[in-house]
Chains A and B, each alone.
Chain A
Amino acid sequence: MLFRLILWLSLCWLSILMYFLLRNETKFKKNIVVEVTLPFEARTDANVMRLLERFKQQILWINLVLFLVTIPFLFIDRISLLMTAWMTWLLFVVLLPMVPYVRTNMALKRMKLERGWKKTRKPIQYVDLAALPPAKWISHWVFILAIVISFMPLLWDREMIFLYLVFGFSTIFFWFGYRYLYRNKSEMVDQNVNLTRVLTQVRRYNWGIVWLVSAYGFAAMSLIFSLLKYHPILQLASILLITFAITFVAIRAEFRTRRIQARLTAESGKYWYVDDDDYWIGGVVYYNPNDSRLLINSRVGVNSTFNLAKTSGKVLAVLIALLLLAMPFTGVFLKQTESQSLSLELTDRMLVALRGRTKETLERSKITDVTLLTELPEHMTRNWGTAMDKLMSVSYFIKGIGSAKLSLDPTVPPFLLVCLEDGSRYLIGSRQSGEAEAVYQQLKLQE
């Protein structure tokens, strides 16, 4: 139940976040509302207001239903089924609110044409030379420090190498993301150079905060995994706290940027203003064959997106679409993984632990000790592999034992703890009744 509750708490709020993000789209920022650029007069136009109100109602109901749907998930026992439910739900959270969003965007664009608010059909790109910002990036050393911290546990702990490597490389990715996933473009709204400069600084600052906090968050997680190795509850609580902090900072940065964008451009749109709506299809997809760059800054907030007019953009879009569509099949994959066969084979020279098509082959002559465990040790931390209801596999850290390779079904005891000459340990089991005991007896006879 604890796992289901943690999963529920970790995910259910996404529909609420989606609601507030989309609701925020109905506030004018940089003259843009629901990704449509409109003149100042449109802010008080009754028809525009009506469209926006209708949109707010639609997303409220959609996200409310999506939230309520998650409550029964708390009572799904099987992990595979639970994951299928959550992944399908996530797909709906991403796609379903997009329907009223795109419809409202198109309706506003139609209204813009009818009311003569669209200034030109020519594809013109404006650049204000005076507002071009000199790129001031956070020093590389600030990120390098986080990277060093995240790799540091490798110096004293070799039992969970994989975890530390994951944290270390994630921190490198955050450094890379900060520097190279940002398009160094000024936030021009109109001819007010100072406004452009401030908006650019606000965006860049918040962008930096998100990546920096993520980098140090992951560095802290790496340290926590190492230092609290023997305190799993404290470890879990700390990891959840850091994850919460990173998520909070990211969401806060997005909303804070939007709030400042709205406040600073509250009086814009009365005279000349930038309008590149033609490149934003449905307000969701950026398609601009005249733009040679792949990475694009979203028009509001701090996010980045990509240019679908580029071949690399199309490839990325297909990959993302495939990933999204594959999400509901996660459960099927988990079910297959969880139900793969688990058995033990003993030959004259070898002890073989079979897991599906995977084999762990141990030479009998190199076995120094075998213990039959009727229950699993209390504190086990997964280093790499699966930790499912009916399958624990690959690499674990076990308190009092150290690192071990696992291949067992935790619901089918007993288990064999096998130690080899080279110090490596294996905790293995079988789904065939009595097989583990039989293997144990034969190994003992050999001794």
Chain B
Amino acid sequence: MLIAFDFQSEIPLYIQLRNQIVIGIAQGLIMPGEHLPTIRALAEESGVNMMTISKAYQLLKSEGYIMTDRRKGTIVAPRERKVIPDATVEGLRLIISELQVIGVSEDDTLELCIKLYREGKDAV
């Protein structure tokens, strides 16, 4: 799976990393149980500060996307049906509102959601 760090983006680097890993998991590019590189290795590879990588990993861990184990290292957490976090609902609300503002219809919004959802599901 390819991670792209955009150094000109207004989105902080750790959020960029977190988002891409979440999308990667959803699209089946990284599977549950699969190892993620160590913080040091990823920092060495990308040139991004270790603290930044660590911050992204901490966030992913707190959100339940990854797990850390002393012996196994960092692995992608198994997929379980979970309660949708409030932050995700709020994020979705904002995105749907943005679509409403620019005049996208309810049907088109649903169609887009289904398409994007299936991209991940089909990949798995």
Do A130 and B47 contact each other (CB < 8 Å), given the known contacts A124-B7, A135-B41? no
Distance A191 CA – B36 CA, assembled complex (angstroms): 18
B48 contact from A134, A135, A191, A292, Cβ within 8 A: A292
A130 contact from B1, B42, B44, B49, Cβ within 8 A: B1
What are the residues of chain B within 8 A of A288 when measuring CB–CB?
47
What are the residues of chain B within 8 A of A191 when measuring CB–CB?
2
B46 and A125 contacting across the interface, CB-CB below 8 Å: yes
Quick one: CB contact mask for A346-372 with B, threshold 8 Å, 1 for yes? 000000000000000000000000000
What are the residues of chain B within 8 A of A185 when measuring CB–CB?
44-45
Q: Does any Cβ of B come within 8 Å of A271's Cβ?
A: no
Q: Does any Cβ of A come within 8 Å of B12's Cβ?
A: no
Q: Does any Cβ of B come within 8 Å of A186's Cβ?
A: yes
Q: Does any Cβ of A come within 8 Å of B6's Cβ?
A: yes
Q: Does any Cβ of B come within 8 Å of A237's Cβ?
A: no
CB proximity of B100 to chain A, nearest CB, Å: 30
B30 and A129 contacting across the interface, CB-CB below 8 Å: yes
What are the residues of chain B within 8 A of A183 when measuring CB–CB?
44
CB proximity of A353 to chain B, nearest CB, Å: 55
Quick one: CB contact mask for A117-154 with B, threshold 8 Å, 1 for yes? 00000111111111010110000000000000000000
What are the residues of chain A within 8 A of B4 when measuring CB–CB?
124-127
Q: Does any Cβ of A come within 8 Å of B113's Cβ?
A: no
B43 and A127 contacting across the interface, CB-CB below 8 Å: no
B7 and A127 contacting across the interface, CB-CB below 8 Å: no
What are the residues of chain A within 8 A of B48 when measuring CB–CB?
125, 290, 292
B46 contact from A123, A127, A130, A134, Cβ within 8 A: A127
B7 and A184 contacting across the interface, CB-CB below 8 Å: no
* Chain B residue, CB-CB nearest to A296: B47
Q: Does any Cβ of A come within 8 Å of B3's Cβ?
A: yes
A132 and B1 contacting across the interface, CB-CB below 8 Å: no
Interface bracket on A: 20 to 34
- Count A-B pairs with CB separation below 8 Å: 64
Q: Does any Cβ of B come within 8 Å of A444's Cβ?
A: no
* Chain B residue, CB-CB nearest to A183: B44
Q: Does any Cβ of B come within 8 Å of A103's Cβ?
A: no
Q: Does any Cβ of A come within 8 Å of B32's Cβ?
A: no
What are the residues of chain A within 8 A of B37 when measuring CB–CB?
129, 132
* Chain A residue, CB-CB nearest to B52: A292
What are the residues of chain A within 8 A of B1 when measuring CB–CB?
128-130
Q: Does any Cβ of A come within 8 Å of B62's Cβ?
A: no
Q: Does any Cβ of B come within 8 Å of A293's Cβ?
A: yes
List which B46-66 residues lie within 8 A (CB) of chain A: 46-49
* Chain A residue, CB-CB nearest to B37: A132
List which B4-32 residues lie within 8 A (CB) of chain A: 4-8, 24, 30
Distance A290 CA – B16 CA, assembled complex (angstroms): 15
Distance A123 CA – B2 CA, assembled complex (angstroms): 16
Q: Does any Cβ of B come within 8 Å of A389's Cβ?
A: no
A132 contact from B24, B30, B41, Cβ within 8 A: B41
Q: Does any Cβ of B come within 8 Å of A53's Cβ?
A: no
B42 contact from A124, A127, A292, A293, Cβ within 8 A: A127
Q: Does any Cβ of B come within 8 Å of A157's Cβ?
A: no
Distance A128 CA – B41 CA, assembled complex (angstroms): 12
Distance A128 CA – B30 CA, assembled complex (angstroms): 12
* Chain A residue, CB-CB nearest to B51: A292
What are the residues of chain B within 8 A of A130 when measuring CB–CB?
1
Provide 19 A-B residue pairs closer than 8 Å at the C-beta atoms, listed in order of the A residue: A122-B7, A125-B48, A126-B2, A127-B4, A127-B45, A128-B1, A128-B2, A129-B1, A129-B3, A132-B41, A132-B42, A134-B41, A183-B44, A184-B41, A184-B44, A191-B2, A288-B47, A291-B47, A292-B47
The 9 closest A-B pairs by CB, nearest first: A291-B47, A132-B37, A290-B7, A125-B5, A123-B7, A127-B3, A129-B1, A292-B49, A127-B46
- Apart from the given pairs A125-B46, A126-B3, A128-B1, 18 other A-B contacts in the complex at a CB distance below 8 Å: A122-B6, A122-B7, A125-B4, A125-B5, A126-B5, A127-B5, A129-B1, A129-B37, A130-B1, A132-B45, A134-B41, A183-B44, A184-B41, A290-B47, A291-B47, A292-B43, A293-B44, A293-B47
A contact residues vs B (CB 8 Å cutoff): 122-130, 132, 134-135, 183-186, 191, 288, 290-293
